[in-house]
Structure 1
Amino acid sequence: MAIRVQAEDFDVGAELAALSDGNPSIGGVASFVGLVRDMAKGDGAGGDAVSAMTLEHYPGMTERQLAAIEAEARARWPLDGVLIIHRYGRLLAGDRIVLAACASAHRAAAFEACWFLMDWLKTKAPFWKQEETPAGARWVAAKEEDDQAAERWYKRAP
């Protein structure tokens, strides 16, 4: 199990290499890196410019929830490794926020599990986001589209 909640940036290449090093049964690693966008998602074609985002979390609860999400992924797919790194604090546009990675003997399990991790991280992980825009700071509300994406995993049997 590799779960980290941290303020510091991370080296994607080094993290992915460490996830699979020394395990010749791994056939593939699927990963997702989330970044701070320079535009807030708005209705329609655009949104407000975003210069930074501050992420807050509840220490202890956050790590427990990430561990539960990882355990659910391991129960559903044959995984040889799982990595979740999520940052908190003030991040600038273009900064890395999250790395989710899954290693497995087969690509389908790695891809599906990684997609599952991100859908559940977006809806179940206790992080709160505040965007900085020219109009001022504002909290980011939960999005129905994220809930709909996570919903599909309830319909699939492990």
Structure 2
Amino acid sequence: MSDAEDKREQINYISVDSAPKRFAGPVSEWQAPRMLALFTSLAAAQLWLVNTDVVSGVFPNRDYVFSLHSGRHAIAIRIFLISFFVAFAAFSSGGIRERTLFALDMVLTFLAGCAVFDLANATAHHVLGSSFSLHFSAIASALLHKSVEGFIL
């Protein structure tokens, strides 16, 4: 083996950003496809559920939105985020208890943020007589959760 080949084998391309010590570890090559399959199944089941006659009366916007908003949207962002949080936690490291608590933490924190926006919207509707746009509420609740998640991690 030449000296250049020996040096190339010693190079380690892992950085702190791509593999933080507390979070990185070897995983199966099937981990991502299984997570995506679970995410897709959860999202499809929830989308079907909110479009049934019984549940669509509770969620007329076809997403987990608890107050009246102006407008409609094409993407049920809250359903997709909840599906992602559960699927991500299901394939994270740790035992079943840790993964379950991780999923609950992400989902409940996200829903609490959504509740803040929905309560603000209901208050605005009651006081001002107009509601926030559904686009605003969906994007703002997703951004709020992302900023809270970044602060916690």
Q: Do the structures match in fold with TM over 0.5?
A: no
TM-score, normalised to structure 2, is: 0.33
TM-score, normalised to structure 1, is: 0.32
Higher Cα Rg: structure 1 or 2? 2
Instruction: For CA contacts below 8 A with separation 6 or more, give which structure has more relative contact order.
Output: 1
